[in-house]
Amino acid sequence: MRLSFPFMKTPFLSYIPFLKALTLLLVAFFASTSAFGRDDNIANVYARGSQTLNGKWRVIVDPYENGFYNHRLQPYDATEPAYAGYFLDRTVTDRTALQEYDFDTAQMLTVPGDWNSQDDKLFYYEGSVWYRRTFDFDATEAQSRQFLHFGAVNYEAHVYLNGRKLGKHVGGFTPFQFEVTDRLQDGQNSLVLMVNNERHKDAVPTLNTDWWNYGGITRDVLLLETPETFVSDFNVTLDSTGEFIEITTQLEGSQLSQEITVEIPELSLSKSVEANAEGYAELRLPTPPDLQRWSPQSPKLYEVVVSSESDRTEDRIGFRTIEVDGRNILLNGEPIFLRGISIHEENPFRGGRAFGVEDAQLLLGWAKELGCNFARLAHYPHSEHMVRVADEMGILLWEEIPVYWTISWENEETLANARSQLKTLVNRDRNRASVIIWSMANETPISEARTMFLKRLVDDTRELDPTRLISAAMEVHSEPGKGDHKIVNDPFGAYTDILSFNQYVGWYDGLPEKIDRVTWEIGDEKPVIISEFGAGALQGKRGDALTRFSEDFQADLYSRTVEMLERIPGISGTTPWVLVDFRSPRRPLAGVQDGWNRKGLIGDNGVRKQAFYVLQDYYEKKKEKANKAKSESEDAP
């Protein structure tokens, strides 16, 4: 909430009415967020009965935030119809009334979607936009509880229903919900959001990033229905040994001591247990001998049904194990080389934020064509559709929160923000077999404060989900005078399961011929993933192998780099940067970048560059080699 105190040469008593109004506003604000804001989201929202609120929303662009304040920069007084706050969504019926906004005549934008790609005037806009959607609600047909679910809003959202504030959410890529059971009206309802995408030094991400700051309601908006007491959360997974299926469930409501039943019909599994007084229950079942494990070659998913005496929900879940053994990553007990690619959640054809199932199928389909069995979802939580499509397609995933570059490491609020985003991401996706790595950060300069910040995130993650691996995209360095010898010894590596780092030898560090001379020193006996390498190339631009931004330069760099990978001790995978060109305001070179990061293997027009086929060929050979080794192992006496 942004409040300004205008400088006025008046006695202190003149401020008393304003201070009283401010006090009341703050009290109301904190009361609404504490009473109605949810710390935890309902699991598996797409399996719930729901009403979609996607579609056309009315919007008012508000760079001065007049929707919060009147012309004297004071909070709105509801008795002042001339300056009624936008969140009240008032309709003028008296021709003599003065009101300087009207949602009914305002422009429209599509939700989900970003405002930058939908309106040329908002292309670079960073500030506040008010969104309004009306919808009908039939109280006679509703179940007992209703929740408003937002897949993501970038970056700060103030949410109002029928003129009353539900609360605030901070974080541009994580879902959030509010219970509205007692706030809905029978008939028409007005839902208003003030959305602000301004960047802040103490935010997560911070001021400087290398991707577009898309503002808006960028993912699905749903009105969910549940019984009064319902299954709010569940987690179903193989334990680290693979010998047991471990299940936890959580009820929410007034009747928490209920019997919980978990079924996997295809495996003829059914087991019941009594939830405790807090609604929590857990089960541990021997793994059936006929269970088929999920893998990229065979992404088998089972229907899992979780029911209580008052509720029933279901999901499609795969079962697999992931662990490290020395410098090997083991999937279902067998070594695997992660043939990966990094992906930004952007649809190049729209030039805007990706959000739907079709977007996920497009991006991950390109990754499959490339020969990938692995993808790094950078640099923030992608939509739930991405991970669910990856489950179906058989693509392993690295998921990440936007702790990027120079975060405010010593700011407790910044840490709390990062921890909250991480918790939400883990809770949302811990039933997805495709997710094998939680990443804490990207390219964060080494300092004691930074390492302790990231260590807190690791501790949280291991408590929330001990079944997956932890890493971060770290940096490398060279000793003075030894630029060809790269050293990986980040102190944060002591807390991760995998040593992952970004390196740009041949692009930011010398020319491609330097790649042939580079040697590597890896500090720990852990698996190694090169989380980024690459070079910029404008699709269609030709030249020789030394012409910057030509496809030839990029292809030569990739050819040399994939050979270098084989010389790195413990190399277990790579996610080159990046699958597709994506928008970035840091990339202004006219005629070449034009506001796009050109390191994609596919251009913003969807056309593959030469380097795409270089990497595709390398991955095909790695796959053939792995298959041959497996066949020989199976044939050995």
Q: Render pLDDT for 587-618 as a digit per residue (tens, 0 to 9).
A: 999 999 999 999 999 999 999 999 999 999 99
Domains of the chain: 12-226 (2.60.120.260), 243-320 (2.60.40.10), 336-635 (3.20.20.80)
55 vs 86: which has the higher pLDDT: 55
Q: How confident is the model at residue 351 (pLDDT cuts 50, 70, 90)?
A: confident
Has residue 407 got a pLDDT over 90?
Answer: yes
Predicted local distance difference test score (pLDDT) of residue 69:
66
* Secondary structure class of 424 (helix, strand, coil): helix
Predicted local distance difference test score (pLDDT) of residue 94:
79
631 vs 226: which has the higher pLDDT: 226
Has residue 363 got a pLDDT over 70?
Answer: yes
User: CA of 98: how far to CAs of 88, 254, 577, in Å?
Assistant: 15, 47, 54
* Secondary structure class of 521 (helix, strand, coil): strand
Q: What's the mean per-residue pLDDT of the chain?
A: 91
Has residue 496 got a pLDDT over 70?
Answer: yes
Predicted local distance difference test score (pLDDT) of residue 634:
75
24 vs 80: which has the higher pLDDT: 80
Q: How far apart are CA 354 and CA 306, in angstroms?
A: 31
Backbone φ and ψ of 582, nearest 5°: -140, 155
Predicted local distance difference test score (pLDDT) of residue 34:
33
Average pLDDT over residues 45-57: 96
Predicted local distance difference test score (pLDDT) of residue 75:
53
Predicted local distance difference test score (pLDDT) of residue 18:
39
DSSP character string of 19-60: HHHHHHHHHHHHHHHHHHB-SSPPS-GGGS-EEE--EEEEEE
Has residue 535 got a pLDDT over 50?
Answer: yes
Has residue 500 got a pLDDT over 50?
Answer: yes
Predicted local distance difference test score (pLDDT) of residue 633:
76
Predicted local distance difference test score (pLDDT) of residue 33:
35
Q: Give 565: exposed, middle or buried? Use CB within 10 Å, 0-12, 13-18, 19+.
A: middle
Least reliable range by pLDDT among 40-54, 564-578, 622-636: 622-636
Cα maximum dimension of the chain: 95
Has residue 21 got a pLDDT over 60?
Answer: no
- 170-205, pLDDT tens digit by residue? 999 999 999 999 999 999 999 999 999 999 999 999
Has residue 2 got a pLDDT over 50?
Answer: no
User: CA of 81: how far to CAs of 1, 40, 101, 214, in Å?
Assistant: 22, 37, 11, 33
Average pLDDT over residues 268-288: 96
Share of the chain above pLDDT 70, in %: 91
Predicted local distance difference test score (pLDDT) of residue 97:
76
* Secondary structure class of 194 (helix, strand, coil): strand
Q: How confident is the model at residue 3 (pLDDT cuts 50, 70, 90)?
A: very low
> Which letter, b or e, does each residue of 403-433 get, where b requires 16 or more Cβ atoms within 10 Å of its Cβ?
bbbebbbeeeebbebbbbbbbbbbbbbbbbb
Q: How confident is the model at residue 31 (pLDDT cuts 50, 70, 90)?
A: very low
Q: How confident is the model at residue 29 (pLDDT cuts 50, 70, 90)?
A: very low
| Dihedral angle computed from the Cα positions of residues 228, 230, 233 and 239, in that order, rounded to the nearest 10 degrees | 160
Has residue 252 got a pLDDT over 70?
Answer: yes
DSSP character string of 292-352: PPP-SS----EEEEEE-SS-EEEEEE----EEEETTEEEETTEE--EE--EE-SEETTTTE
Has residue 80 got a pLDDT over 80?
Answer: no
* 260 alpha carbon, distance to own chain's centre: 31
Average pLDDT over residues 562-584: 97
Average pLDDT over residues 410-417: 98
Has residue 8 got a pLDDT over 60?
Answer: no
Instruction: Give the pair of three-digit tokens for residue 166.
Output: 């539900």
Instruction: Give the pair of three-digit tokens for residue 519.
Output: 């040697």
Instruction: Give the pair of three-digit tokens for residue 176.
Output: 């959030």
* DSSP state for residue 152 in the 8-state scheme: -
Predicted local distance difference test score (pLDDT) of residue 110:
98
Predicted local distance difference test score (pLDDT) of residue 631:
82
Q: If you average pLDDT over each of 94-108, 128-142, 303-317, which comes out highest?
A: 303-317
Q: Are 321 and 238 in contact (CB under 8 A)?
A: yes
* DSSP state for residue 505 in the 8-state scheme: B
Predicted local distance difference test score (pLDDT) of residue 84:
59
Has residue 99 got a pLDDT over 80?
Answer: no
Backbone φ and ψ of 365, nearest 5°: -65, -40
